[in-house]
Amino acid sequence: ARVNDEASLTLSGTIAGTPHYMSPEQARGDLVDARSDLFSLGSLMYAAATGRPPFRAETVFGVLNRVSEHEPRAIRDIEPRVDEWLAAFIGKLIAKKPEERFQSAEEVATLLSAELAHLQNPVSIAPPPRAWMARTVAASGGWRRRVAWIAGIGAAFGFVLWAQGESDSARQVRGAIASLLPFSVQDPAGAWTRRVVERDGVGHSVYEQTLERTRSCADVGAVRMRLSGARVELVSSSTPSLRVIARRSVEAETEREAAERVAGLFTFGIEGEGGGITIEAVRSDRAELEPSGIATATYRVEIPDGMKLELDAQDATLSIGDVDGETKISMSGGHLELAEVGGTLDVRATNADVTALSGMRAKADFFVMHGRVRVGDARGTVWINTSDGNIELLESPGKVSAQASGGNIEIHGIRGATKVHAEGGDVRAVLFDEPSENSSLSSAGGRIEVALDEGADVHCVVDGSLKSELPFEQVSPTRHELVRGEGGKRLTCVTTTGDVLVAVHERGDTDSSQDRRAVRSRKSGSDGSSGPAGSGPAGSGSGDRGLRGSGSSGNGIGGSGLSGSGLSGSGLGGSGLGGSSEGRSGLGGSGLGGSGLGGSGRRSGAGERVARAMQSLATEARPGKLSVVEFEEPIGNVDGYVLYLPTRYPDGAVESAATTFPLIVYLQGSFGVGGAVSDVVNWGMPRLLRDARDATDARYRKLLDDFIVVCVHISEGRYGQTPSAIERILTEVSQNYAVDTHRVSVTGLSRGGHGTWELAAKLPGRFAALAPVGASPGAVDDWSKLANTSVWIAHNESDQVAEFDEALAASNRLEHEFGVKFLRIHPRAIDGVTSDNARFENVRYVFSSSPTGNHDAWTDLYTSAGFYAWLAAQARQE
* CATH for 594: 3.40.50.1820
Higher model confidence: residue 121 or residue 740?
740
User: Quick check: is 209 in a domain?
Assistant: no
Nearest of 807, 771, 769 to residue 789 by alpha carbon: 769
479: alpha, beta or left, given left = phi > 0 and alpha = psi -120 to 50?
beta
Backbone phi, then psi, for 720, in 5-degree steps?
A: -90, 5
Burial of 288 (0-12, 13-18, 19+ CB in 10 A): exposed
- Mean pLDDT score across all residues of the chain: 74
pLDDT at 613 over 50: no
With contact defined as beta carbons under 8 Å apart, do 872 and 702 qualify?
yes
Nearest of 675, 875, 708 to residue 790 by alpha carbon: 875
- The domain boundary, picked from 133, 160, 180, lies at 180
The pLDDT value recorded for residue 691 is: 77
CA angle 319, 324, 326 (to 5 degrees): 90
Confidence of residue 507 (pLDDT cuts 50, 70, 90): low
Highest-pLDDT range among 17-21, 42-46, 839-843: 42-46
The pLDDT value recorded for residue 742 is: 94
- The domain boundary, picked from 180, 208, 225, lies at 180
The pLDDT value recorded for residue 420 is: 94
With contact defined as beta carbons under 8 Å apart, do 739 and 876 qualify?
no
pLDDT at 171 over 50: no
Q: Give the single-character DSSP code of 71.
A: P
Confidence of residue 414 (pLDDT cuts 50, 70, 90): very high
With contact defined as beta carbons under 8 Å apart, do 426 and 446 qualify?
yes
With contact defined as beta carbons under 8 Å apart, do 370 and 563 qualify?
no
User: Quick check: is 781 in a domain?
Assistant: yes
Higher model confidence: residue 166 or residue 456?
456
The pLDDT value recorded for residue 835 is: 52
The pLDDT value recorded for residue 568 is: 30
Q: How far apart are CA 627 and CA 629, in angstroms?
A: 7
Percent of the chain clearing pLDDT 70 (strictly above): 71
For 237-270, b/e burial (b = at least 16 CB within 10 A) is beeeebbbbbbbbbbbeebbbbbbbbbbbbbbbb
Q: What is the CA radius of gyration of the chain?
A: 33
HEC secondary structure over 601-614: CCCCCHHHHHHHHH
Give the Å distances, CA to CA, from 33 to 99, 213, 222, 540. 11, 36, 49, 51
Mean pLDDT of 753-776: 94
The pLDDT value recorded for residue 179 is: 36
User: Quick check: is 523 in a domain?
Assistant: no
The pLDDT value recorded for residue 212 is: 79
What single letter denotes the amino acid at residue 196? V
Specify the CATH number for the domain of residue 62: 1.10.510
Higher model confidence: residue 649 or residue 191?
649
For 643-663, b/e burial (b = at least 16 CB within 10 A) is bbbbeebeeeeeeeeeebbbb
Mean pLDDT of 409-426: 91
Higher model confidence: residue 208 or residue 410?
410
- The domain boundary, picked from 180, 213, 230, lies at 180
Higher model confidence: residue 280 or residue 436?
436
Confidence of residue 120 (pLDDT cuts 50, 70, 90): low
pLDDT at 767 over 80: yes
The pLDDT value recorded for residue 121 is: 66
Helix (H, G, I), strand (E, B) or coil at 791: strand
User: Quick check: is 756 in a domain?
Assistant: yes
Mean pLDDT of 231-236: 88
pLDDT at 531 over 70: no
For 619-667, what is each residue's pLDDT tens digit?
578 888 899 999 988 898 899 999 999 998 986 555 455 689 999 999 9
The pLDDT value recorded for residue 664 is: 98
User: Quick check: is 28 in a domain?
Assistant: yes
User: Quick check: is 658 in a domain?
Assistant: yes
CA angle 398, 404, 406 (to 5 degrees): 170
Run of H or E including 824:
strand 823-825
The pLDDT value recorded for residue 381 is: 93
pLDDT at 776 over 50: yes
Higher model confidence: residue 479 or residue 158?
479
Mean pLDDT of 413-437: 90
Q: Give the single-character DSSP code of 89.
A: H
CB atoms closer than 10 angstroms to residue 506: 11
Strand-strand pairing, 391-394 and 823-825: unpaired
pLDDT at 398 over 80: yes
What single letter denotes the amino acid at residue 676? A
Nearest of 511, 568, 777 to residue 686 by alpha carbon: 568
For 310-353, what is each residue's pLDDT tens digit?
999 888 889 998 888 899 999 988 899 998 888 999 999 988 89
Highest-pLDDT range among 62-71, 171-180, 491-500: 491-500
Higher model confidence: residue 199 or residue 654?
199
Domain span holding position 40: 5-180
DSSP assignments along 407-470, one per residue:
S-EEEE---S-EEEEEESS-EEEEE-S--SS-EEEEEESS-EEEEE-TT---EEEEEEEEEESS
Nearest of 581, 571, 529 to residue 550 by alpha carbon: 529
pLDDT at 549 over 50: no
pLDDT at 209 over 70: yes
The pLDDT value recorded for residue 417 is: 93
The pLDDT value recorded for residue 698 is: 73
How many structural domains is the chain composed of? 2
pLDDT at 780 over 50: yes
For 272-293, what is each residue's pLDDT tens digit?
655 678 887 777 654 334 444 5
Mean pLDDT of 433-441: 89
User: Quick check: is 230 in a domain?
Assistant: no
CB atoms closer than 10 angstroms to residue 397: 14
User: Quick check: is 742 in a domain?
Assistant: yes
Q: Give the single-character DSSP code of 848.
A: E
Q: How far apart are CA 682 and CA 680, in angstroms?
A: 6
Highest-pLDDT range among 225-239, 709-723, 821-835: 709-723
What strands lie across the sheet with 626-635, from one edge to the other? 617-618, 626-635, 638-644, 708-714, 661-667, 739-749, 769-773, 790-796, 845-850, 823-825
Q: How far apart are CA 477 and CA 465, in angstroms?
A: 9
Half-sphere exposure of 109 (CA within 13 A, CB side): 18
